Amino acid sequence: MAEPKIRLDPADRIRPSSRKGASRRRTGRRRSSVRAGKLGILLLLWVGIVGCGLLGYFALTLPDTSELTRAERRPSVTILAADGSLLTTFGDLFGQPLSLKEMSPYLPKAVVATEDRRFYSHFGVDPIGLGRAVFANIAAGHIVQGGSTITQQLAKNLFLTPERSLSRKIQETMLALWLEHRFTKNQILEIYLNRVYLGAGTYGVDAAAHRYFNKSARQASLYESAAIAGLLKAPTRFNPARDREKAAERTAQVLAKMVEAGFVTSSQAMAALSGGGSFATVPVTRPGARYFSDWVAEQLGDFADTGNRDLTVVTTLDPRMQAQGEAAIAEVLGRDGARMAVSQGALVAMAPDGAVRAMVGGRDYGQSQFNRATQAQRQPGSAFKP
């Protein structure tokens, strides 16, 4: 009996060459994947090396953090006339350093509400807050929000220059992380509140409370605390001595933020607004007496210890005689200056005991600070009058 013949369809036949080709393709893909993986690992290594190098560089160029314990500042010098009226002030005004427990409880809440609402939940840098600020600024078409945390602001204010650059931002971030590791949240906030600039030459909430409300930060009311916190955004623009209306508007904004943050109730905020606050009248200096004030400041080293402490100097200047002297110089120069080709003049009025009662060093201190009464090398001659 004949054996049956089996026919294979051409499609069923195994082609050795095709099998080898498929194997080669799989091997090639594996090799490409391995090569890509090696390149990726190498790239990551290089990125890591460069990143570590940059971090090392920025770490080496960080300022000395021991500055945190030193309150470097210009001492404040207040110069008064004989009647106690203010002539001028020099230097910076610092208040008494206060702990959070010592200052009004509204002050820390007002600052956190308006500057860094997530202060107690972030690690020194707030990615969420930064993202929110970026979107808000893009939507507005200009800068309306900042992305820096209170910790970053403290790092910048204490250790860094005002320069704006990528390297400064990296250093600011590194210092913020260091501060968060070194201090508690309350300590960071306390240092910030005692060191931050709040306009009109004041540093710290206690100095600001004295300057703007004639009281210590211990007694600051809700409205007054909101007003002080509002200065942080723009100390000059919202300075109540410069524009009380803008200062009041900014205070209302801070109170609204405190309500949003849950720090005060709506009724408390409304009561604060209705009661308002009594901004202190900032003493007005006497521009014409600046020649005299500068001269006094130059002599202080011979009479008092001008180290790192504030001074108040009561002088012999008579405001009435000073005004008369300024008017006399202006009258003479206005009447005879052009005819005699004279544009400046000087005057010193002294008591028999040598006390200076009035001093005019020039026509306009704003235009020229050169004191012709004390610095001009000219023979007075018959200008001396009894």
Distances from the Cα of 9 to the Cαs of 3, 6, 13, 16, 21, in angstroms? 19, 10, 7, 16, 22
When mean pLDDT is compared across 28-42, 225-239, 290-304, 349-363, the lowest value belongs to 28-42
Q: How far apart are CA 207 and CA 218, in angstroms?
A: 11
Q: In this structure, are 179 and 254 located in the same domain? A: yes
Active site residue 190: no
Q: pLDDT by residue (tens digit) across 371-382?
A: 988 888 776 655
What number is the average pLDDT over the span 69-85? 73
Q: In this structure, are 107 and 157 located in the same domain? A: yes
Q: In this structure, are 301 and 242 located in the same domain? A: no
Q: How far apart are CA 75 and CA 304, in angstroms?
A: 13
Q: In this structure, are 205 and 296 located in the same domain? A: no
Q: In this structure, are 355 and 318 located in the same domain? A: yes
Q: In this structure, are 292 and 252 located in the same domain? A: no
Pairing of strands 86-90, 77-80: antiparallel
Q: Looking at this protein, which amino acid is placed at residue 277?
A: G
Distances from the Cα of 176 to the Cαs of 19, 41, 70, 125, 229, in angstroms? 63, 31, 18, 7, 21
* pLDDT, position 146: 58
Which has the closest alpha carbon to 321: 294, 296, 345, 349? 349
Active site residue 382: yes
- Burial bucket for residue 116 (CB in 10 Å: 0-12, 13-18, 19+): buried
Range of the domain at 242: 93-275
Q: Looking at this protein, which amino acid is placed at residue 317?
A: L
> Is 75 inside a domain boundary?
no
Which position has the higher pLDDT, 166 or 331? 331
Domain count, the chain: 2
Q: In this structure, are 265 and 132 located in the same domain? A: yes
Which position has the higher pLDDT, 2 or 344? 344
As a 3-state breakdown, the chain gives helix, strand, coil percent values, each rounded to 5, of 50, 5, 40
Q: In this structure, are 169 and 260 located in the same domain? A: yes
Which has the closest alpha carbon to 279: 234, 239, 231? 239
Q: Quick check: 61 pLDDT over 80?
A: no
* pLDDT, position 160: 57
Q: How far apart are CA 214 and CA 278, in angstroms?
A: 9
* pLDDT, position 224: 95
* pLDDT, position 217: 94
**In percent, how much of the chain has pLDDT > 70?**
70
- Annotated catalytic residue: which of 17, 121, 267, 382? 382
When mean pLDDT is compared across 55-59, 174-178, 359-363, the lowest value belongs to 55-59
Q: Quick check: 57 pLDDT over 50?
A: no
* pLDDT, position 96: 81
- Annotated catalytic residue: which of 76, 115, 148, 293? 115
Q: In this structure, are 125 and 264 located in the same domain? A: yes
Tally the C-alpha atoms within 13 A of residue 219's C-alpha that lie toward its C-beta. 7
- Cα R_g (the chain), whole angstroms: 35
Query: What residue has token string 């500042």?
Result: 73
Q: Tokens at residue 378, please?
A: 């000219």
When mean pLDDT is compared across 144-153, 191-200, 317-326, the lowest value belongs to 144-153
Domain boundary among 241, 275, 309: 275
* pLDDT, position 381: 58
Q: Looking at this protein, which amino acid is placed at residue 99?
A: S
Q: In this structure, are 218 and 110 located in the same domain? A: yes
Q: What is the pTM of this model?
A: 0.62
Helix (H) or strand (E) holding 68: none
Q: What is the DSSP string of 78-105?
A: EEE-TTS-EEEEES-EE-----TTTS-T
Q: How far apart are CA 218 and CA 379, in angstroms?
A: 56
* pLDDT, position 69: 46
Q: Quick check: 303 pLDDT over 70?
A: yes
What number is the average pLDDT over the span 194-214? 88
